[in-house]
Amino acid sequence: MPGLTAEDDLATVTTLRGAIMRLGRRLRHQRVDCSLSSTEMSVLATLVRGGPATPSELARNEHMRPPSMTRILTMLTDKQLVRREPDPRDGRQMVVTATDTATEILTESRRQRDAFLAELAGELTEQEWAAIRAAAPALERLAHL
Q: What is the contact surface with DNA in residues (CB under 7 A)?
A: 37-39, 54-56, 63-75, 84, 87, 90-94
Q: Rounded to the nearest 10 degrees, what angle do helices 38-50 and 66-78 cross at?
A: 80
At its nearest, how many Å lie between a copy of itself and the CB of residue 45?
10
Residue 34 sits in the site that holds a copy of itself (CB under 8 A): no
The Cα 79–Cα 138 span in angstroms is: 38
Chosen residue from 13, 50, 74, 93 binding a copy of itself by CB under 8 A = 13
Chosen residue from 16, 34, 70, 84 binding a copy of itself by CB under 8 A = 16
CB 54 within 8 A of CB 65: no
The Cα 113–Cα 101 span in angstroms is: 19
Residue 79 sits in the site that holds a copy of itself (CB under 8 A): no
Residue 128 sits in the site that holds a copy of itself (CB under 8 A): yes
Residue 71 sits in the site that holds a copy of itself (CB under 8 A): no
From residue 114, how far is each of 30, 117, 120 by CA, in Å?
Answer: 10, 5, 10
> Taking the mean position of all CA atoms in its chain, how far away is CA 81?
17
At its nearest, how many Å lie between a copy of itself and the CB of residue 128?
4
Per-residue binding string, a copy of itself, 103-122, x by CB under 8 A, is: -------x--xx--xx-xxx
Total count of residues recorded for the chain: 145
Indicate the residue among 22 and 65 with the shorter CB distance to a copy of itself.
22
Residue 51 interacting partner from DNA, a copy of itself, none (CB closer than 5 to 8 Å by kind): none
Residue 27 sits in the site that holds a copy of itself (CB under 8 A): yes
Handedness of CA 92, 98, 101, 102 (dihedral sign): positive
